Chain A
C-alpha cells in the first residue's frame, strides 16, 4: 500500500493534475478571505461593458487630491493619436473624395489628397465637412460614423484648461471647486480614496466576474463531489451485490442497470430537472440528481470485477471460515477494487461538473438568483447574452478555462493512478 502511494506521488501525471486541482480548490477557499463581499452583488450598471482593469473614482480624482505637474514631451501626441486613429485618415479621404465627386470640387480626388499630411488633411475636412451635407453614395451607418468622427476631431486640438464646479445649495450658484485642470496635471493613483479592482470585469448583471467565478467554481466542485459520491456509492453497492450474490439479485440489478444504460443519462437528467421547480433546484439537489442518473457504468464495471474475484481462493477460504457476506465483501473484495473505485470516483466528479454545466446551459441548473455555477455563467454570457459579439471575453473564457482545468486535472490524476494500479499499463 505504501509503495503504491509512493508510486502515485512519483507519477508526474498524477502530481501535475493534483497540483492544478488543489490550486483551484485553494483559490476557492482563500480568495473569498482576501477579497470578501457578496459575489452575487450587482455593482455595475451596464452589461458586459466593464472591462477587466482598475477603476478610479472620477469624483475622488478631482476632489481634494494632490496634483503634480509633469511636463512630458509627447504627451499631447499621445492625446491626439488617441483621437485620430490610423484608419481615420483613410476614412477622411474617402468622405472627401465622395464629396468631391458629388459636388465636383477641384482638388478632392483620390490622387490629390495626401493622407500623410495631417494638417492639410484636417484642413480639407474642416473646410468641407458638415453633417448637413448629404453625400448620396454613403450609407446611413457611414454618415453616422462621419458625424462621430467629426465630433472627435473637433476636440482634437481643444486642449484648454478645464474647470470643475460645484453647486452651492445656499446661494444656488456654481462655485469653482477645482480650477484649471491642465493637460499637464497628474495625480498619484494611491491618493484616490475609492479604487475598484476588477481583474475580470463585470458580467451582464454587473457582478464582479472574478468573485462570481470563484463562487461558481466552489459550487461546481461541490456539485461534482456530491454527484460523484452519490453515483459511486450507488454504483459500488449495486455492483458489489450483483457481482457477489449473483442469481436473482444480479438479474434484478442488471435489469435496471441495462434499462438505465439504454436511456441516455443526460436526457433523464433534463427530464427530472424540468420536473422540479426552480426553488427546489438548489446546487445540492441538482448534484444528487446528477448522481442518481450516472451510476450505471460504475455498477457494470464493479460487478464484472467482483465476479472475477468471488471465486478466488482467499474468498472461498473466507466463506469456508464462516465469515458473513458483508465481511467478505468489505474485507476480501473491496480492497481489490478500491483503486478502481477511487479512479471511477474521480471521473465521476469530473463528469458531474460537466453535466451541471450542460444542464445549466439549458437553463435547468440552480436558480440564477440564489447561486452561481460555471454552467450558469456560460448560460448567461453565451446562450442568453451576446458577450461574444461584443468581445466581452472575460465573461466566458475564464469560465471555460476553469472547467477545462478542473476536468483536465482530474483526468490527469486518473491517468496517473491508472498507470500505477493497472498492471498492463505499469512502467
Chain B
C-alpha cells in the first residue's frame, strides 16, 4: 500500500516534472489518455467527411429554480457573494462557475478556450482547436485550426475571426488593455475562416529575432475564452463602446459554445443548464453530452457553513478548505474523498502569501528589517497544523523560496546558496535581534508589553493584518501571524473585511487601507515558475487598477524587473538556475511579501452520495482534480454517473 502511494506520488512528481521541460510544443500531449472519446490531439480533420457541422439554436428551457437533486451537480467554494450576470468579458460578474480564466486553466462550462490545460502533465488538449498547434520556423508565430464541428449556441460556426476579434476586443475594451498578455502577444489574426495565428512580440536576442515568451503564448491558449465576434459587436453597440457600461452589462443574451447555458441565479445560487445541442457531442470531441443536466454553485456565508453542506451531502464537489478533511471519512465514515487517498490529500502548488503594502502610510512598513522580523516571527508549523490541518507540506520539507513544492520547481534554484536567508518561523529571538540591530527599539514609556512597543521617530509600529472575512483558515493564519506581535514589540491587529470589498481594495492601483494582507499566488501553468515570480515581484503591475495578476503590495526593484525579462529568453538551464537563485535571494532579503503556507492548487473534495466517477489518483484517467470544470478537468463531467 505504502509502495503504491509512493509510486503515486512519484508519478505525480514525474508528471509535474514536465513543467520544467515545457516550452516546446507540447500540444496534445495528454490527448487520448482517459478521454471519453477519440479525436483529441490527433491532428485529423474535424468531421469524418471534413464538412462543417450544423445545429439548432439553443432555446432556454422554462426555469424551475428547485432543480431535481439527482440531475444536478452542486459545487461550493467558487464564489462569495451573489453573481451579477453572465457576461464573459467582464470581471464584475462574480460568477466563477460560468466565467473564470486563470493561468491553470479556464472554466469551460459555458465559454471555451482553444485548448484544455491539464495541470497533471502540463499538456494542452484540443477543445475548440483541431489537433496540435504548430510554430513557424523561428518560433514567433503559433498556429492552430478551429474544429469544423465547433459551433456557437446560436447555431453559427465558430471561426478564426471570433478568436481574432476576442483578442482585439480585449486590447481595445478591457480595463487593463490585456496588460497581462501584450508584452508577449503582438496580435491574434485569422489567416482564413479556420486558421488562427498568434503572433509573438519579438525581441532581439543573441543576434536573432525571437519570441519574447513562448510559454505565455501557450498559457494563453488554455486561459482565454474565444468569444463570438457578432455578440461582442452587439455588446459594443448597445453600450456605445463605453468600457464601464460593457463591464456592467449582465450579458443575459450571451452566445456561448460550452456544454452549459445560463439558467438561473439568485443571492445564493447560480445554476447552468445543459445545452443538449452542444457541438461537443460530435464524434470528433467527446462523443456524448456531459452527465448532469444542471450544474450549480451555492454560496455559503463562511467556510464552516459550506463544510457542513458537503458533509451533509447537499453539495457534491467542494473547492473550499475543509478543516481535518480526512476525519470526514476516517472517523465519520462519510462517502467523501479527495484526489489522493492519503495525506496531504491534494496536490500542493499554491502559496497563499501575505503582502506588505508598500504604499501604506504605516510607519516602518518600508523597512526590510521590520518586514523580515514579522515574517520570521510567525509560527508556520502552527499555521500548517492548526489553520491548514496538515493538508500540505511544510516549510521544513520545502524551504521557502519563490518555488512551489513540486520537485521540478524545487530543482530550479540553488537551495544551498540561499539557505542562510531561508526561515522556518517562530524565531522570536531572531526577529528581536534584527529589529534591535536596525535601531528600531522598544520605548518603555508607551505601555507596550515586554518592555514597550517598538517605535520609529516616536511612532509606534502598528499594522493591520487582513484577509477576507469568513475565510476561516486564512483568518486563523492571520491570527497566528498577529500573535507574534507582542513578543517582537510590533502591534499587529487582525482586520477582516467582506470579500466583495476586499477584492476591490487589494486589486486597486493605489490603496492605503490594508497594511499586511493575504492573497493566493499562481500555482501551476505552462509558464511557471516564471509567471508566479513575475506576479509576485514585477513592478509592471504597480498603479494598475483592477490588477488581479499580482504584486499587490507594489514592490519595485529594477534589478528584479531585469531578471524577470531575461528568464523567458534564457535557454541555458545553468544560467536560468543562477537567475532564479538571485531572485530568491532578493525576495528573501527584501521580503516584499512572505508565503504563509503551501496549499493545494485547488481544493477538490467530493461527496459521492449522489454522483460518482470523479477523478482520483488511482483511476488512471489523468484528469486533473480541479472541480470537474477547469481546463481538462471538464472531462470528469462526461464520466459521472449516479451512485447505485
Q: Do A and B come from one complex?
A: yes
Interface contact A390-B1, CB-CB below 8 Å: no
Nearest residue (CB) in A for B644 is A137
Q: Quick check: which of B18-26, B347-355, B385-393 contacts chain A, the rest being far away? A: B385-393
B9 interfacial by beta-carbon distance below 8 Å? no
Interface contact A369-B482, CB-CB below 8 Å: yes
A248 interfacial by beta-carbon distance below 8 Å? no
Size of A's binding interface in residues, CB under 8 A: 38
Determine the distance from Cα of A204 to Cα of B483 in the docked complex, in whole angstroms: 14
Determine the distance from Cα of A347 to Cα of B307 in the docked complex, in whole angstroms: 37
A316 interfacial by beta-carbon distance below 8 Å? no
Interface contact A47-B495, CB-CB below 8 Å: no
Interface contact B335-A47, CB-CB below 8 Å: no
Interface contact A47-B389, CB-CB below 8 Å: yes
| Neighbouring A residues of B495 by C-beta, 8 Å | 277-278
Interface contact B494-A48, CB-CB below 8 Å: no
Q: Which of B324, B475, B491, B493 contacts A384 (CB 8 A)?
A: B475
Interface contact B323-A369, CB-CB below 8 Å: no
A139 and B386 contact, Cβ closer than 8 Å, known pairs A144-B329, A389-B311: no
**A-contacting residues, B313-372, CB 8 Å:** 322-324, 327-337, 341
**A-contacting residues, B489-505, CB 8 Å:** 491-496
Q: Quick check: which of B186-194, B408-416, B612-620 contacts chain A, the rest being far away? A: B612-620
B131 interfacial by beta-carbon distance below 8 Å? no
B606 interfacial by beta-carbon distance below 8 Å? yes
Interface contact B612-A140, CB-CB below 8 Å: yes
Give the secondary structure class of A's interface.
Answer: loop
From B332, B333, B341, residue with most partner A Cβ within 10 Å? B341
**B-contacting residues, A333-349, CB 8 Å:** none
Interface contact A150-B1, CB-CB below 8 Å: yes
A13 interfacial by beta-carbon distance below 8 Å? no
Determine the distance from Cα of A367 to Cα of B478 in the docked complex, in whole angstroms: 12
B244 interfacial by beta-carbon distance below 8 Å? no
Q: Which of A47, A382, A383 contacts B385 (CB 8 A)?
A: A47
Determine the distance from Cα of A278 to Cα of B479 in the docked complex, in whole angstroms: 12
B379 interfacial by beta-carbon distance below 8 Å? yes
Interface contact A131-B496, CB-CB below 8 Å: no
A255 interfacial by beta-carbon distance below 8 Å? no
A140 and B324 contact, Cβ closer than 8 Å, known pairs A145-B329, A147-B1: no
From B4, B331, B337, B486, residue with most partner A Cβ within 10 Å? B337
B304 interfacial by beta-carbon distance below 8 Å? yes
Interface contact A279-B382, CB-CB below 8 Å: no
Determine the distance from Cα of A139 to Cα of B337 in the docked complex, in whole angstroms: 9
Determine the distance from Cα of A143 to Cα of B342 in the docked complex, in whole angstroms: 12
B541 CB → nearest A CB, Å: 29
| Neighbouring B residues of A145 by C-beta, 8 Å | 329, 333
Interface contact B472-A384, CB-CB below 8 Å: yes
Determine the distance from Cα of A279 to Cα of B619 in the docked complex, in whole angstroms: 52
Determine the distance from Cα of A205 to Cα of B105 in the docked complex, in whole angstroms: 35
| Neighbouring A residues of B482 by C-beta, 8 Å | 367-369
Q: How large is the interface on B (under 10, 10 to 19, 20 to 34, 35 or more residues)?
A: 35 or more
Interface contact A139-B608, CB-CB below 8 Å: yes
From B386, B616, B619, residue with most partner A Cβ within 10 Å? B386
Nearest residue (CB) in B for A277 is B493
Determine the distance from Cα of A278 to Cα of B476 in the docked complex, in whole angstroms: 16
B381 interfacial by beta-carbon distance below 8 Å? yes
A201 CB → nearest B CB, Å: 14
Q: Which of A140, A142, A147, A205 contacts B479 (CB 8 A)?
A: A205
Interface contact A206-B494, CB-CB below 8 Å: no
| Neighbouring A residues of B493 by C-beta, 8 Å | 277-279, 367
0/1 string, A129-164, CB within 8 A of B gives 1: 001000000011111110110110000000000000
B469 interfacial by beta-carbon distance below 8 Å? yes
Nearest residue (CB) in B for A132 is B4
B462 interfacial by beta-carbon distance below 8 Å? yes
A369 and B608 contact, Cβ closer than 8 Å, known pairs A49-B324, A141-B329, A389-B307: no
Interface contact A369-B324, CB-CB below 8 Å: no
A368 and B386 contact, Cβ closer than 8 Å, known pairs A131-B1, A385-B304: no
Interface contact B303-A386, CB-CB below 8 Å: yes
B643 interfacial by beta-carbon distance below 8 Å? yes
Interface contact B381-A141, CB-CB below 8 Å: no
**B-contacting residues, A26-42, CB 8 Å:** 42
0/1 string, A182-202, CB within 8 A of B gives 1: 000000000000000000000
A326 CB → nearest B CB, Å: 37
| Neighbouring A residues of B387 by C-beta, 8 Å | 47
Interface contact B341-A144, CB-CB below 8 Å: yes
B126 interfacial by beta-carbon distance below 8 Å? no
| Neighbouring B residues of A151 by C-beta, 8 Å | 1
B419 interfacial by beta-carbon distance below 8 Å? no
| Neighbouring B residues of A228 by C-beta, 8 Å | none
A141 and B382 contact, Cβ closer than 8 Å, known pairs A46-B389, A382-B304, A383-B302: no
A358 interfacial by beta-carbon distance below 8 Å? no
| Neighbouring B residues of A385 by C-beta, 8 Å | 304, 323, 472, 476
Q: Which of B304, B470, B485, B612 contacts A369 (CB 8 A)?
A: B485
A246 interfacial by beta-carbon distance below 8 Å? no
A391 interfacial by beta-carbon distance below 8 Å? yes
Determine the distance from Cα of A44 to Cα of B382 in the docked complex, in whole angstroms: 8
Interface contact B386-A46, CB-CB below 8 Å: yes
A125 CB → nearest B CB, Å: 14
Interface contact A363-B469, CB-CB below 8 Å: yes
Determine the distance from Cα of A205 to Cα of B387 in the docked complex, in whole angstroms: 8
B308 interfacial by beta-carbon distance below 8 Å? yes
Determine the distance from Cα of A45 to Cα of B387 in the docked complex, in whole angstroms: 10
Interface contact A368-B479, CB-CB below 8 Å: yes
| Neighbouring A residues of B385 by C-beta, 8 Å | 45-47, 206
Nearest residue (CB) in B for A367 is B493
Q: Which of B311, B324, B608 contacts A47 (CB 8 A)?
A: B324
Interface contact B614-A140, CB-CB below 8 Å: yes
A139 and B643 contact, Cβ closer than 8 Å, known pairs A150-B1, A367-B493, A389-B311: yes
Determine the distance from Cα of A46 to Cα of B385 in the docked complex, in whole angstroms: 5
A391 and B337 contact, Cβ closer than 8 Å, known pairs A131-B4, A205-B479, A386-B307: no
A130 CB → nearest B CB, Å: 10
Determine the distance from Cα of A236 to Cα of B559 in the docked complex, in whole angstroms: 69
Interface contact A139-B335, CB-CB below 8 Å: yes
Q: Which chain B residues have a beta carbon within 8 Å of chain A's beta carbons?
A: 1, 4, 302-304, 307-308, 311, 322-324, 327-337, 341, 379, 381-382, 385-387, 389-390, 462, 464, 469-470, 472, 475-476, 479-480, 482-483, 485-486, 491-496, 606, 608, 612, 614, 616, 618-619, 643
Could you show 9 A-B contacts with beta carbons less than 8 Å apart? A45-B386, A141-B606, A144-B329, A145-B329, A204-B386, A384-B475, A386-B323, A389-B328, A390-B327
Given A46-B390, A279-B462, A390-B332: 19 more A-B contacts, CB < 8 Å? A42-B386, A42-B480, A46-B386, A131-B618, A140-B606, A140-B612, A141-B608, A142-B335, A143-B618, A151-B1, A204-B386, A277-B464, A383-B304, A384-B472, A384-B475, A386-B303, A386-B322, A386-B323, A389-B307
What are the 3 closest A-B residue pairs judged by CB atoms, nearest first?
A: A45-B385, A139-B608, A278-B493
